[in-house]
Amino acid sequence: MKPMILLALFFVLQMIGAPFSFGQRDKDAQKSAREANRAYKDKDYYTAIIAACDAFQGSLNKKGLKDMGQVLADSYRLYLPGTLDRVKRHESERSGSYSGKASVEEARYVVQAYEKMIDIQQAVKMLSPGVLSDAGIQAVDLGDYGEMLERARHWYDVFAGQYAKECYENGQAELAKGTKGGALRAYHLFAEAKQVDKNFKDISDEIRQAHQSAQYRIAYVEFGTKFTMPVTSFFSSNGLSVSSSAAEFVAKNPYPNFVAIVRHEETFDLWLNAGNVQAIHDFCVAKGFDGVVFGSYEIPSGSSVNLPVDKKEIEKEVVVGETRTKGSDGKEVVQQQKQKVKGVLHSYVREHRGDVTGQVFFYDAVQGKYVLNRFVVKGETFHRESWERGTGDLRVFSEREQKRFREKDPAPTPPGDMQIGAISNFGSRVYVKFLETLPSLYE
């Protein structure tokens, strides 16, 4: 008796659940119909076909059925013939010929085209004969496209392997130049080789060597101990934790390498020895009372360095702590403890003669956006006071100005003029006192 009761209960639950199942399926169909219409308007006919086929699996009203039928017919007509023509043209012209990266990209397109056509065939097979007839669709045998897909994958592997080999050899030649620019180009070429051919031999050592050679060694200097922000919150250096925005910047730019984090009292004596400094750092980034000071120690031919350009004593009252109490009215009262802190601000820069055009592209970790600055200095000796006097054009652009600037004149990407990146964390503003590109090193 008990098994019979359980069986009856099972059938009752099935009957109760069925309407909910159909209701969900209808909602899914309507969602797919909206996606199909949106994709059709965007001329994404592949997505429109797949979504329209999904929509037919639910219950649509008369108008919905008509609309989906039209979307399906038009998308099928607009997508399939053009795709097949391009694929056939590629296969007839290929004949085993290879023409560099263009061959790899075309072979990739053919593979993706066959994969999409198989997806379409599988989706179309789920439609009723009436829907297929109304849309003018004839489902073809899956076996043909499956065989073509395997052949297309074979040719992609052949072309990708050949192109990856070229990238690797060109990368080795660039790395052998012994310049930062060559190392940076080698880094991108090695990465390209691994990207196009996943089965390419292990070149992790070469990538690591190019990455390290392309880096600009940067020393970050903290002024004082109480009033500076924790360096681990926004800079990357040998295992230190970083914020996500700073980590993203460092990941995208292989050349900043923060090799040293030192207190000002530990490093000023070292700075006075140009030989030691040049051996350790390419650049120094120092956070002081009035922002970030950038200096370059790498000395190309024809240039000279003055060490130091600027040195001054600074005294500032800073907040070193606070206490929180509740007043008689129940509101929180914050009392700050302050003390005067002395510091020495050095500004080390490279001196240039003649016209210099700089291009700067750095990331503001506070505001979470990239900022592009450009400047031109004619016949000037670079030092901090020149920026304070307004010489050149170095400032933070507003978001609207950045957008307009990018549209008119997009920032160059390597290979090209070297761009030095810096991460700043000073509240709502970005402070830059000196930032210079090094086109002479990018040869």
In a structure prediction context, what are the per-residue pLDDT tens digits for the chain, which is 443 residues long? 555 665 555 554 454 444 444 466 677 778 888 888 888 888 888 888 888 888 887 777 778 778 888 888 888 788 877 887 788 777 776 656 788 888 888 888 888 888 888 888 888 878 777 777 776 676 554 457 788 888 888 888 889 999 999 999 999 999 998 876 788 788 889 989 998 998 899 998 898 888 777 665 444 443 333 223 322 222 323 222 223 333 343 344 444 444 444 333 333 333 333 233 333 334 444 333 233 333 332 323 333 333 333 444 545 565 556 778 888 888 888 887 776 655 444 333 333 322 222 223 333 323 333 333 333 222 232 333 233 333 333 333 344 544 544 454 443 332 222 223 332 222 222 222 223 322 222 22
Considering the domain architecture, whether residues 297 and 359 belong to the same structural domain is answered as yes
**Which residue segment(s) compose the domain that 23 sits in?**
2-140
- Partnered with residue 306 across adjacent β-strands are 349
What is the Cα–Cα distance from 183 to 180, expressed in whole angstroms? 5
For the record, the structure tokens of 289 come out as 């009372």
Q: Find, among 123, 106, 346, 311, the residue nearest to 219 by Cα.
A: 346
- Whether 127 and 167 map to the same domain: the answer is no
For residue 13, count other CB atoms closer than 10 A to its CB. 10
201 and 227 fall within a common domain: no
Residue 147 domain flag: no
| Residue 402 counted as domain residue | yes
pLDDT score recorded for residue 341 = 55
pTM, whole model, 2 decimals? 0.48
Residue 127, pLDDT score: 78
Residues whose CB falls within 8 Å of the CB of residue 184, separated by 6 or more in sequence, listed in order: 210, 214, 254, 255, 414, 415, 442
Are 153 and 111 in contact by the 8 Å Cβ rule? The answer is yes
The span from the CA of 86 to the CA of 73, in Å, is 20
φ and ψ of 363, to 5 deg:
-110, 130
Answer yes or no: do 86 and 178 share one domain: no
80 located within any domain: yes
Are 383 and 338 within one domain?
A: yes
Q: Is 379 in contact with 361 (CB distance < 8 Å)?
A: no
Output the CA–CA distances (angstroms, integers) from residue 384 to 6, 104, 295, in the order listed: 86, 50, 10
**Residue 226 within a domain:** yes
Within this chain, do residues 183 and 90 fall inside the same structural domain, yes or no? no
373 and 422 together in one domain: yes
Tell whether 266 and 201 lie within a shared domain.
Answer: no
Residue partners of 342: CB distance under 8 A and separation at least 6? 313, 314, 315
User: Could you tell me if residue 308 is inside a domain?
Assistant: yes
Residue after which a domain boundary falls, among 194, 211, 228 = 211
Residue 72, pLDDT score = 82
- 421 occurs within a structural domain: yes
Find the helix or strand (DSSP H, E) in which 12 lies.
Answer: helix 2-41
**Contact in structure between 193 and 203 (CB atoms under 8 Å):** yes
CB burial readout 382-407, b (16+ within 10 A) else e: bbbebbeeebbebebeeeeebeeeee
Q: How far is CA 41 from CA 69, 166, 311, in A?
A: 15, 41, 64
Spell 32-41 as b/e; 16+ CB within 10 A means b. Answer: bbebbbebbe
Q: Are residues 20 and 73 in the same domain?
A: yes
What pLDDT shows up at residue 164?
A: 93
182 and 257 both lie in a single domain:
no
* Tokens linked to 435: 């930032």
* pLDDT for 344: 42
Q: What's the pLDDT score for residue 166?
A: 94
Looking at 140, 170, 186, which one is the last position of a domain? 140
Do residues 84 and 223 share a domain?
Answer: no
- Among residues 173, 191, 211, which one ends one of the domains? 211
Three-state DSSP state, 289:
coil
Q: Domain for residue 153, yes or no?
A: no
Q: What is the pLDDT of residue 138?
A: 65
Closest CA to 96 of 154, 147, 166, 148: 154
Domain total in the chain: 3
* C-beta separation of 296 from 382 below 8 A: no
Please check whether residue 398 lies inside any domain of the structure: yes
Q: What is the pLDDT of residue 104?
A: 87
Give the pair of three-digit tokens for residue 72. 């399906």
**Beta strands 304-326; 369-378: pairing state:** unpaired
Do 116 and 178 lie in a common domain? no
Q: Given this model, what pLDDT does residue 212 score?
A: 73
**What's the confidence (pLDDT) of residue 315?**
56
